[in-house]
Amino acid sequence: AQKVTQAQTEISVVEKEDVTLDCVYETRDTTYYLFWYKQPPSGELVFLIRRNSFDEQNEISGRYSWNFQKSTSSFNFTITASQVVDSAVYFCALSEAGRGRRALTFGSGTRLQVQP
Amino acid sequence: GAGVSQSPRYKVAKRGQDVALRCDPISGHVSLFWYQQALGQGPEFLTYFQNEAQLDKSGLPSDRFFAERPEGSVSTLKIQRTQQEDSAVYLCASSPQQGPSYEQYFGPGTRLTVT
């Protein structure tokens, strides 16, 4: 069965620090997709990035970067020079291509607090 | 453009009451999902529609939960004889296609409190 683990429950940093959010996943499928979502205090989940299992290239988007490593089943998310507006709960999620299942399996989330 | 909308945003129900939660997906989106999010947890899958067909209801916790999407657009999640453990945020999401690779766009959720 699929599973996503976010071991860090809460992280607190001071503005301008770099921070990495960890995500470890389990799946038996060879084709799968990994996602990161942000949930600000308003509550609405905001899509950040998608990766497929065949593409291990790291990706950078502004202050955000993602490190996907199949060998360790990890898909970590780094925020460089954090800002107060980055404060939110971040979720890693997995979807599998097989068996017709389309649901996302979410981790329990990491709450990031960025102090000014 | 308009995103996913849900109504009501907040619902308080007495134990034993029936409730109906509405989701308006993004226009033209084929796939629609319902998730339940308990306090401090990640969303958990309830059910999935492709157009009007309910293709996966494996996450519905009991037969008190029922969902429909009769015309392939608006969806309603109904909970009969609510229990305290049903208190949670119910999230609706839609996706433009049916494949697993497409991101899901989430609504703001309905916070249900059962007293």
Lowest mean pLDDT among A40-49, A58-67, A95-104, B78-87: A95-104
Q: Please report, for residues A34, A59, A93, B100, the alpha-carbon distance to residue A55 in angstroms, rounded to integers and kept in the order given.
A: 11, 10, 16, 16
A97–B101 CB contact, under 8 Å: yes
Best of B104, B105, B110, B112 to disrupt the A interface by mutation (most A CBs within 10 Å)? B104
Q: Please report, for residues A3, B63, B77, B108, the alpha-carbon distance to residue B90 in angstroms, rounded to integers and kept in the order given.
A: 21, 17, 9, 9
Q: Over the stretch A14-51, which tens digit does the pLDDT of each residue have?
A: 999 999 999 999 999 989 999 999 999 888 999 999 99
Rounded CA-CA distance A112/A110 in Å is 6
In 10 A of CB B20, how many CB atoms? 13
Q: Has residue B101 got a pLDDT over 90?
A: no
Among chain A residues, the shortest Cα distance to B45 is held by A103
Q: Over the stretch A65-75, which tens digit does the pLDDT of each residue have?
A: 999 999 999 99
Compute the half-sphere exposure of residue B6: CA atoms within 13 Å on the CB side of its CA.
27
Q: What percent of chain A has pLDDT over 70?
A: 98
Write down the pLDDT at residue B98. 74
Q: Has residue B103 got a pLDDT over 90?
A: no
Q: Over the stretch B34-47, which tens digit does the pLDDT of each residue have?
A: 999 999 999 999 99
For the CA atoms of B106, B110, A3, B54, the dihedral, rounded to the nearest 10 degrees, stands at -80
Write down the pLDDT at residue B1. 58
Write down the pLDDT at residue A98. 74
In 10 A of CB B108, how many CB atoms? 18
Write down the pLDDT at residue A25. 97
B109–A105 CB contact, under 8 Å: no
Mean pLDDT of chain B: 94
